[in-house]
Structure 1
Amino acid sequence: MNAPFPIPDDEAARRAGLPPGSRLHEARLANGLAIAAAEVPDARQQRLVGVVDVGYLDEPDDCRGLAHLLEHALFLGSTGFPRAGELAGWIGERGGRYNARTDETATDIHLHLSPGDADEGLARLVDMLARPRFDPDRIAHEVAVIDAEFHARLADPMLHRLAALGRLCREGHPARLCHAGHRDTLDDDMPRLVGRLTDFHRRHFHAGRMALVMLGPLPLEAQLDLLTRHGAALPPGDTPPPQRAWRWGPPGGVAWHTPAPRAGASSLELIWPLPEETAAHADWLAAVTARLADGRLAATLQAAIELDRLAVTLTPEGMGRALALRLAPAPDLESVQAMLSACRSAMEHALATPLPTPPAATADLDAWPRRHGVQLAAGHDLTRAAADTPVEPPRAWLAPGQCRLLWQSPATPHRWSTLVETGTAWRIQPPPSENAPLPWRAPPALNVRPLGPDTGDPAPRRPRHDERLSLWCGEPIRLADAPAASLCLGWPAPAAHQAARLAQWRRNLLPLRQAAASQGMRIHCAGDVRGDWLIATGTAERLDALVELAVACWPERASPRADDQPTGLLAQRLLTLLEASTLQVARADAMPVLGWLSGHGDSGATEAMMHRLAERLSAGPPEAAEPSPQEASDDTLQLPPQGGDHVAMLEVAGPDDSPRSRWLLRLLAQCHDAAFHHEMRQQRGLGYVAVVRYREASGFPRLGYVVQSPHTEPGALRQAIADFLTRQGEALARLTAAEMERRRRGLLAHAGRPETQAEAIAQLWQALRRQASLSPPPLPWQPLPWEAEAQALASLPAEALLSLASDLAAGRLVQRWWLHTPQ
């Protein structure tokens, strides 16, 4: 092992965007493998990621979907661990998580485990990457799974977006084709397909094209030892990296829509492709991107066309290296013209005056290892200062004439072409003619409010409490990445149309949220059965101004809009519904306005703001309550047709919202998930999505048992789920003392002490809201919620889990069925 450059470990971590106090070391082993170890002291889990520098653009054109199939095949058994689904079972027993992804130029597998399981987890990860077993029968089954996934995703706009994006690429380039894979694109001769799979793996899955990344609380030296020892088992190789040609055709535009366009769904993407050499200008590009997202463009467009979303990114999906803006809605050509004109002017402004000091991105500990691994596997040096960077930034690549346009357009009388494979409707869309620019709006101003001296007292205290408002101050915990101050505010809100109201609130907040982010501040708004709420963090002198403007943006009522509907697989949408479900959840309409100020803030200004909010709430007319499908009392809900698959989901509510109930349902999900997946998919062949997932709604725990199938009707799926719980539910919950202890350790790695200050604030705020909803509320600040949770888990006997499984199998728990039948 050799260190490629002598940058101190803490400085390398800072440059790579890790939290303060972290250490990072990179090296390349003798077999060519790139490794990176990141010690993050506050992390609970050990993240392990294996990345291969090969993706779907590298697969042969006559076997599209091969890279996707290989990703699936890696989980069907390896030389050291030959049973299909063995990794899922092993990780589930330890309370961990796993996933995999194949994108354009990279394939990765990522595991989340407790630190004590990192050694064996890394051994299993390396074995599946290096020595997969390609059993023909199992591969044939996975081809059927991929085929079912493809047909289900024909209802997902994201698949059609990628298909339309291909029309902007050069003839003959693989990016013009759909690479999701299905029966018609994969070889139908199974022995030959297995041979091609084996050859694709042999050519690309070797150490010279791979990276292993580990992030977690283990000491840096221990991580490097594990990575070096296990990484040496990966086969060396000298296959040169694929020559990836420039994908883009000449600048132009494409309009598209799905085969059955959803009313109101529209968006516009403006794309400036960038060559690989522009990676040396990452800081300058980040400054340009930050200027485009400083709130000025959002405020200008929102005033003219009621803009809902404006995202600016240097990592757009399906585009390689590019700077892209995504705006919605884009309902007609006049709106597109206004957007294009404003964005071009904003780009000129950003190139002339990029944001001098772009705000540091908040470290995402889940996403960081994969992003870092992708760059390392591709041979990019992430932490070395680029001494040979050219002085002149690549402005020419961001000129107006280099922009490509992708418009998700509503169906119109225009003549559309249709892509045979996906059914995507598309046509060439010339850029609209230039028109007079929109009058520019300044971004929302966050005025500075002078603060008094910091008392330095972090102990929680409640300076104000009555029937109208309750204000807490204090900072029970402060981690290394803590902002200067934070302010959380919550208030009772009508249950009717809450989803629409929150969507409208987020739309109203768009310019403010961007203006705040450009100054290193963050604001998050949400709602549940206890009301609506927000969390704001950042500079103490501007915090009151940010929250006051955010509260002013809150709408007391809003109407649902068609483009607010979720996308993705039906099973994923159903699981998302659990997070807002009202099953077994009592509303708390009588709660006062609740606030919590931490850090160096002005409690007097916060109290005055809360008074004004309380006056506004008392003066406004009550919103008429309308029952929603989730509030129905029926034990079966039939969803309106949203795709071509059948789906059944059993929702199970916990007995209450205590830590004990939350842990019991988490444990039961762990015990059931791998076995449920195996029985529904492998044994019964019912569907290609079969999972058990834990969710919470306002702190109330629930489970979702969901199966999505292209051919089996919901009634049969429902019966299969019920049969599983009756036959296996109790048996799988019979844990020995050793098994229970192992699962406890794994769960604490997920739900122990917070990893970031943002997580700590969110947990403390929700615990405070639960406390305030009690009648009468307890007076003192409650213990740190993760400490109370840990105590509850430590005292949980295995018999309690078995009793819960027995109650579920006997139908004694509150539950509800969600069913979907296609038209």
Structure 2
Amino acid sequence: MPVPADSFQRPPQIRLSSGLRVRLLCLPESAQAAVLVRVHAGAHDAPAAYPGLAHFLEHLLFLGSRNYPVEQSLMPFVQACGGQLNASTRERHTDYFFQVPADHHQEGLLRLVDMLARPLLDPDAQLREREVLHAEYRARAEDVETLCDAALGRVIGEEHPFGAFHAGNRETLPVEQESFQLALRGYHQRFYCTGQIELLLAGPQTEDELLQLARLAEDSLGVGPEICNRDAPPLKQPQETWLRLQLDKAAPRLLLAWALEGITEHGQPALDYLASWIASEAPESLLSRLRNQGLCQSLKLRMPYSYAGQGVVVIEATLTEQGLKQRAQVIDALMDWLGFFSTDIRWQAGREHYSCVIRRRLQVAEPLARLRYWVEPQAWGEDSDESAVHGALASIIGQLLATRPVVLTCDATPRDSIETAGFPLRLSFEAPERAEAHAWHWQPPKANPWLRAGPRGKAVARQPTLDWLGPEDAAGRATLYLHWRFMPDRATAGYGQALQHALQTQVWAAGEAGVELRFEDQGHGWLLSLYGIAEAIPLILQDLGALLARPPQASLAQGHQLAERAFRLEGDQMLLRQLLALLPQVFNDSTASATQAPLKQTGLEQQWSKSERQAMAVGFAADLSGPLQEAITALPGMAAAVRSGPKVSSESRRWLQVGSGDEGETAFLLFCPLPAPGDCSTEASWRVLGRLLEHAFFRRLRSELQLGYAVFSRFTCVAGQGGMLFAVQSPTASAAEILGHIESFLEGFALQLTSQAAQIEEAARELSVRHVATNDLRAYAEQSLQSWLAGHDAGHQTRVAQAMATLEIAQVLAALEALRHGSGGWRVLTNAASPQGWQTPAKGLRLTT
């Protein structure tokens, strides 16, 4: 039996004979396995003549390799077994990573190393993928962080790679030219070899078995030397430079940026430590003080460039309108707090807390998240040299205090466009401001009470209103779901957003304690989810009841505004993510209750009084049943006597528009509900069909039609009802065109499906086993949640799994026909107006503005 690794213990690095560096993480309690490959070359190592070449190569590697053509390559393989994968090109390294069920570990690894070592680099595929990358470039041209870093690069990165354009677009990637092809292959040959690669493996296997997998990977990779540090010119720190960047749709921001030199190898954990305290929302923290004064909504520290002792450090504040007017005071507070934080007393008090937080986060992290943490060579762990980290922190803060930062303000103030070879910027210089002297009198932040051990007791008889699912999780994790359904109607618009606002600090504090806390407005109901350290969940829940019943008046005052901003798509996230967050709220909403009257405590009490509460616990130890039930009983709402499913709209084709339609790109969601929600055979065939559609849909609409960078499909559950979801964000296609492409794809897929009996049988067998598997807590809990919200009985999932095990091709073909013809209805949520033939909401629903 494999010995579990201490979650806080750094996996040692092994160097194989070829120069390949390997870290192995044995996780015997995990049903999942993960692989991460770091290639020590990135965007700044590409030829200056071809900006974006490194990023472009990252895309191309997923398009087939010598032993695995595109249909059998890593992406469709991972999608077919319900895993996750991605890649990231940074300044001086490129990461490729995936997570799959453990029995697919080796097959995934072999595909990954083959695509790294022997990519096809097909010329026609390059032309198509260049258009995909150009669509990504256009999307990033609207991204707040990207534009801010481009603006800072104009003054800090002059004559330095930090200030150059590295994303790539249609103009910078002349794939038709032989010189470009030579440069592309030359870059690949130079850097994609064993001396430049680190391989990290995590899974339930023994260390010897993981090492055997690493040697298999080594045999497939090209052998080459490690290339030592590449030189970079000095970073420039201009004095007293203030900039203003026009961003029309984002909340106001203030960025302080420093160019640092001489950062030691322990600088990264030192900066991570500093970042955790800058973002802290604990009482008396920096952010808490600025929030209480109405100046700031959030704070974070990030490092957009780091290499060979150089770094660009950015402290970013999301401002209120008052904070925008008092920028100088915010800067004064930040600088004064850095001085307070630099004392040895603060280090002694903070390091133990930080260690506890990191340990808890790693304890609940999935295998891939652990690898992404430990790939950083000096990530904080049990063996960290605390004295060296403390010294690096003192040196960094000393540099921050000794130099006036570059100050970048981002708001809607009109600015002229400037010439740039990369992202378009509306940027100008402005005169520095000074704040009046202020004594801040900083205090140490208060301790997080949820980091202590939670209460336990004897197992107690469980209430009928609490569904208790086992078995107990071996790693000490658990999931709790609480759902409030409103009878007979949905909640008045705004109250759900007010509660989300009220829970902001609790979400942060729960995260520190190793628990992911989410509160979602699902239209006819509210859903509270807690996943993580099992013994912390009752402790957290005990403290949430009073806040849910009586949130601060400031949160109630913002409820309407937050709801309206969400429906106007004014958030900073990409449009498609904003639509996905709204989908449960509007899915079955034909009688939405909206009022312009101020939200009041009495109104919230009325909402709670007409709600019925249900609870489901997954993976808890029996001795937590007493504290858990005690905490649930104290929550607002009435305990539901009978489990009920969602209300189902009778409309067959419904089109919902949110936003103004001038967001620049088209974001489009199509949800097709199951035609017979309670029928196990129907659900089984739709789930298998969903797995078969995933890669084919992605390849057709993203790679072949090049509609946009964000494209996916999957079987999912929305507001308690299962169905097929299709999602596209496109810079070029209209909503009607996207819909037409989806219809054409489904028609063509129907012709392909008749010859895919083997693939159908394999997908059905795989899904049947995993549908009722309890050894992957998170997947099991999410699967149980879908069934629970739909109102199904405890045996429903087992019957669906049995139906998948005996599924025939005719049933999947019938499911596809039902999907194509909208037997369960089609629901569109988009930022574009509807074509003829679609039902739209009644007047006054405030779904469009």
TM-score tier by shorter-chain length is 0.7 to 0.9
Partner of 2:837: none
Partner of 1:342: 333
- Greater Cα offset, 141-150 or 362-371: 362-371
Partner of 2:316: 326
**Cα distance in 2, alignment partners of residues 418 and 66 from structure 1:** 22
CA 1:46–1:406 in structure 2 vs 1: closer, same or farther (change >3 Å)? farther
Give secondary structure in 1 for the equivalent of 2:255: strand
**Cα distance in 2, alignment partners of residues 283 and 642 from structure 1:** 43
Match of residue 552, structure 1, among 534, 550, 553: 550
- Greater Cα offset, 674-683 or 381-390: 381-390
Partner of 1:815: 826
Alignment of 1:512-531 (within 5 A): 512-515=506-509, 523-531=517-525
Partner of 1:34: 21
Report if the CA contact (8 A) 1:37-1:220 is conserved. Answer: yes
Partner of 1:19: none
Deviation at 1:367, TM superposition (A): 4.5
Report if the CA contact (8 A) 1:578-1:696 is conserved. Answer: no
- Greater Cα offset, 119-128 or 432-441: 432-441
Matching of residue 675 in structure 1 with residue 700 in structure 2: no
Deviation at 1:171, TM superposition (A): 1.4
Partner of 1:80: 67
Report if the CA contact (8 A) 1:256-1:424 is conserved. Answer: no
Instruction: Supply the AA of the counterpart residue of 2:723.
Output: R
CA 1:497–1:273 in structure 2 vs 1: closer, same or farther (change >3 Å)? farther
- Greater Cα offset, 487-496 or 423-432: 487-496
Give secondary structure in 1 for the equivalent of 2:109: helix
Alignment of 1:265-664 (within 5 A): 265-271=251-257, 277-280=263-266, 287-292=273-278, 293=280, 295=282, 296-305=285-294, 307-310=296-299, 312-313=300-301, 316-317=303-304, 325-331=315-321, 333-352=324-343, 353-354=346-347, 355=350, 356-358=352-354, 359-361=356-358, 362-363=361-362, 364-365=365-366, 367-368=368-369, 371-372=372-373, 374-375=375-376, 385-386=384-385, 389=388, 392-399=391-398, 400-402=401-403, 404=405, 407-412=408-413, 417=418, 419=420, 421-428=422-429, 432-435=433-436, 436-437=438-439, 454-457=456-459, 461-462=462-463, 470=465, 472=466, 476-482=470-476, 489-492=482-485, 495=490, 501-515=495-509, 523-535=517-529, 539=536, 544-549=542-547, 551-553=549-551, 558-561=559-562, 565-567=570-572, 569-571=574-576, 573-575=578-580, 577-578=582-583, 580-583=585-588, 591-594=611-614, 599=624, 602=627, 606=631, 609-610=634-635, 613-614=636-637, 635-638=654-657, 640-646=660-666, 649-655=669-675, 663-664=684-685
CA 1:157–1:663 in structure 2 vs 1: closer, same or farther (change >3 Å)? farther
Give secondary structure in 1 for the equivalent of 2:214: helix
Deviation at 1:728, TM superposition (A): 1.9
- Greater Cα offset, 347-356 or 521-530: 521-530
CA 1:200–1:821 in structure 2 vs 1: closer, same or farther (change >3 Å)? farther
Instruction: Supply the AA of the counterpart residue of 2:336.
Output: S
Deviation at 1:786, TM superposition (A): 7.2
Instruction: Supply the AA of the counterpart residue of 1:337.
Output: A
Report if the CA contact (8 A) 1:662-1:700 is conserved. Answer: no
CA 1:452–1:307 in structure 2 vs 1: closer, same or farther (change >3 Å)? closer
Report if the CA contact (8 A) 2:518-2:528 is conserved. Answer: yes
Deviation at 1:762, TM superposition (A): 6.6
Report if the CA contact (8 A) 2:671-2:725 is conserved. Answer: yes
Instruction: Supply the AA of the counterpart residue of 2:560.
Output: S
CA 1:247–1:47 in structure 2 vs 1: closer, same or farther (change >3 Å)? farther
Give secondary structure in 2 for the equivalent of 1:108: strand
Report if the CA contact (8 A) 1:667-1:801 is conserved. Answer: yes
Give secondary structure in 2 for the equivalent of 1:298: helix
Match of residue 249, structure 1, among 237, 250, 265: 237
Partner of 2:111: 124
Partner of 2:724: 703
**Cα distance in 2, alignment partners of residues 53 and 128 from structure 1:** 17
Report if the CA contact (8 A) 1:307-1:329 is conserved. Answer: yes
**Cα distance in 1, alignment partners of residues 529 and 170 from structure 2:** 48
CA 1:682–1:348 in structure 2 vs 1: closer, same or farther (change >3 Å)? closer
CA 1:660–1:213 in structure 2 vs 1: closer, same or farther (change >3 Å)? farther
CA 1:187–1:712 in structure 2 vs 1: closer, same or farther (change >3 Å)? same
Instruction: Supply the AA of the counterpart residue of 1:814.
Output: G
Deviation at 1:74, TM superposition (A): 0.8
Report if the CA contact (8 A) 1:583-1:631 is conserved. Answer: no
Report if the CA contact (8 A) 1:39-1:217 is conserved. Answer: yes
Report if the CA contact (8 A) 2:29-2:204 is conserved. Answer: yes
Give secondary structure in 2 for the equivalent of 1:211: strand
Give secondary structure in 2 for the equivalent of 1:560: helix
**Cα distance in 1, alignment partners of residues 670 and 162 from structure 2:** 40
Report if the CA contact (8 A) 1:308-1:510 is conserved. Answer: no
Deviation at 1:275, TM superposition (A): 5.8
**Number of residue pairs matched?**
768
- Greater Cα offset, 630-639 or 797-806: 630-639
Report if the CA contact (8 A) 1:95-1:747 is conserved. Answer: no
Matching of residue 203 in structure 1 with residue 205 in structure 2: no
**Cα distance in 2, alignment partners of residues 368 and 653 from structure 1:** 33
Percent identical pairs in the alignment equals: 22
Instruction: Supply the AA of the counterpart residue of 2:674.
Output: G
**Cα distance in 2, alignment partners of residues 448 and 97 from structure 1:** 31
For 1:237-289, what per-residue CA distance to the aligned partner results, in whole angstroms no more than 9, with x for missing partners? 1252342535453466554445x612x62223345666675443666655544
Deviation at 1:451, TM superposition (A): 12
**Cα distance in 1, alignment partners of residues 786 and 53 from structure 2:** 45
Report if the CA contact (8 A) 2:8-2:381 is conserved. Answer: no
**Cα distance in 1, alignment partners of residues 226 and 384 from structure 2:** 29
Deviation at 1:71, TM superposition (A): 0.9
Unaligned 5+ segments in structure 2 are 593-606, 639-648, 834-849
**CA RMSD of superposed structures (Å):** 4.5
- Greater Cα offset, 37-46 or 387-396: 387-396
Match of residue 713, structure 2, among 680, 692, 716: 692
Report if the CA contact (8 A) 1:255-1:407 is conserved. Answer: yes
TM-score by length of 2: 0.77
Match of residue 801, structure 1, among 812, 815, 818: 812
**Cα distance in 1, alignment partners of residues 235 and 462 from structure 2:** 60
Instruction: Supply the AA of the counterpart residue of 2:672.
Output: V
Deviation at 1:176, TM superposition (A): 0.6
Report if the CA contact (8 A) 1:580-1:697 is conserved. Answer: no
CA 1:155–1:631 in structure 2 vs 1: closer, same or farther (change >3 Å)? farther
Deviation at 1:140, TM superposition (A): 2.4
Instruction: Supply the AA of the counterpart residue of 1:360.
Output: V
Report if the CA contact (8 A) 2:201-2:371 is conserved. Answer: no
